[in-house]
Structure 1
């Protein structure tokens, strides 16, 4: 059984095109790291500077803790820190956005 986690992040002003560009294709090593950490899907939508993510993963907290120590992810997060208003600490303590409603 996998989890579906929603996340929200915000870009720094003027970083929209750069963010889109670096996400046009992530590197094979990052792809492999995400999959090895249990990620089966990750989609991102952008409205202006607002980013909305849906992550499909076996165990969200375990994935975050594993990626916190992965050199490929550490390098990726350094790039993201230049683009996002708040850098991610990958502590694994968060649970994403709370679900308010779902079509039954």
Structure 2
């Protein structure tokens, strides 16, 4: 398993809506993520900056390459694009983070 981390940014005042949408996450999206080998997926919010920090584990990093083309993923991105910084294809503006320390 490989652990990955990333950051994204919410628009001001959208934290509650972001939380609500994730509390109501679509079962087909959960199934897609699990089928792609993703587990232990966490997203945190820095309320001072509206920066989201996410981390997850993935069994096969190459399996992530197909996610952007999946209609369920594309629909989710469009669903979220009104509350966070997004690219022209509605995918979230996301930056990978570099691991600096791990304590087992």
TM range (shorter): 0.7 to 0.9
Q: Structure 2 stretches of 5 or more lacking a match? A: none
| Structure 1 runs, 4 residues or longer, greater than 6 Å off | none
Aligned to 2:28: 29
1:61 is displaced (CA, Å) by 4.3
**SS at structure 2 position matched to 1:13:** coil
Q: TM-score, normalised by structure 2?
A: 0.81
1:85 is displaced (CA, Å) by 1.6
Q: Aligned equivalents of 2:79 and 2:24: distance in 1?
A: 14
**SS at structure 2 position matched to 1:55:** strand
**What's the C-alpha RMSD, in Å, of the aligned pairs?**
2.2
Aligned length in residues = 99
**SS at structure 2 position matched to 1:83:** coil
Deviations 1:3-59 (A, max 9, x none): 110111110112111101101131110001101111122111112111110111112
